[in-house]
Amino acid sequence: MTINWNYPTTVWVGENRIENLSQACNTLNISSPLFVTDKDLINLDMVKNIILELKKNFNNLCIFSNFSGNPFGENVEEGVLEFKKNKCDGVIAFGGGSGLDVGKAIAFMSGQSRPIWDFEDIGDYWKRANENDIAPIIAVPTTAGTGSETGRASAIINKKTGIKKIIFHPKFLPSIVILDPVLTVDLSPRLTAATGMDALAHNLEAFCAPSFHPMADGIAIEGIKLIKKSLLKAYENGKDIEARKDMLVAASMGSTAFQKGLGAIHSLSHPVNAQFNVHHGLSNAIFMPYVLSFNKEEIEDKIVSICDYLNLNKNFNDFLDWILDLRKKLKIPHTLSEVVDEKVIDLNKISKMALDDPSTSGNPKKLNLSDLEKLYKNSLKGEL
């Protein structure tokens, strides 16, 4: 057996570390940064103040924010044009998953001549890239979910096909990450819940993935413990800085761990995100217990092995009950039909999309088309 392992980047953690953003640019020799964030965040006073501080230090600071959640390839293309037109030399990716993914993709594509879809996470497609002109990236998450700040990929929708693609290259990994819990205190309870469950999905699927990566396992199990400790606290009291810090760190840990693999939670989510614009963390939360139940015979021993660490009774059903109870307290819907009208769902279409998703190969139990259709049906009806 021969396996290659990777570890993430430099991370600056702590309250008010956003004040070190200009220092981060200087550390990476960025003199003309492109500040990338989504069209909602750009209007917040918090973001305006950060930009004002940056402008004191950088005469050629440029802004790109013409995108929303679940971004498209065209958003990246437009950002690359802004990057080149303004002769930028680095990217500050700021925000939730969409802001981080678009910012990372802009930095990467600024050095490429091929279309973004040529770098989908398939085999060694990443080797097609020109590595010489990829711009340095600083990542600043404002939600505690995707963990994109410590990831080597971006999730981008191909508008022509309606399919969310994972675009991968090792240099998607930011050079410096700033984890400042102050930036997350105004996150709504609804988004705190959805993004927190996204982080849980990443850590949990990574731990259950069948490949051999003990370092990822260790990160994942501690990430799950931090989420168990602090997600409800952050949901109930958004000003709890300690809980917010725990959730930021757990999100970064999830992204670090899932280089080991993901599974059907993500396979089922990606088509729903792309076709119906459902928040990724919310869909992960909805699908989680159905996938756990489906995978039970393959993952039961692993789940039981972590129950002690989580102060749960050592059996699979108690772990599943914890997930269900957590979702209920976070007001997460139990069924997919509560967020998507069942009448507009083409089960065969999204099941085929899920089967082709790169996360499918990492599921502990081998999946076929009928399995995925059944999982969708179960999630629509609420049948575990």
| Structural domain boundaries, residue 351 | 186-381
**71, 172: one domain:** yes
What's the pTM value of the predicted model, to 2 decimals? 0.92
Give the pLDDT of residue 230. 98
In a domain, 4, yes or no: no
Residue with tokens 């700021």: 94
- Count up the domains in the chain and report the number: 2
Torsion angle of alpha carbons 114, 121, 215, 101, nearest 10°? Answer: 60
Regions of the chain short of the pLDDT cut 70? 1-2
Q: Check residue 1 and give its pLDDT.
A: 67
* 18 and 149 assigned to the same domain: yes
Residues 297-315: pLDDT tens digits? 999 999 999 999 999 999 9
Here the CATH number for the domain that contains residue 111 is 3.40.50.1970
Residue 5 lies in a domain: no
Q: Are residues 371 and 222 part of one domain?
A: yes
Kindly report, residue by residue over 107-147, the tens digit of the pLDDT: 999 999 999 999 999 999 999 999 988 999 999 999 999 99
Q: Let me know if residue 204 belongs to a domain.
A: yes
Q: Rounded distance, CA 295 to CA 208, Å? A: 9
Same domain, 145 and 218: no
Instruction: Please report whether residue 36 resides in a domain.
Output: yes
Is residue 332 within 8 Å of 285, Cβ to Cβ? Answer: yes
**Distance separating alpha carbons of residues 230 and 61, to the nearest angstrom:** 36
- The DSSP string of 227-261 is HHHHHHHHHH-TT-HHHHHHHHHHHHHHHHHTTS-
Residue 308 placed within a domain: yes
Q: Final residue of a domain: which of 125, 155, 183?
A: 183
Q: Say if CB 232 and CB 173 are below 8 A apart.
A: no
- d(CA 255, CA 166) in angstroms, rounded, equals 14
Helix runs in 62-147, H state only: 73-85, 97-109
Phi (first) and psi of residue 165, to 5 degrees: -110, 145
CA angle 318, 143, 43 (to 5 degrees): 150
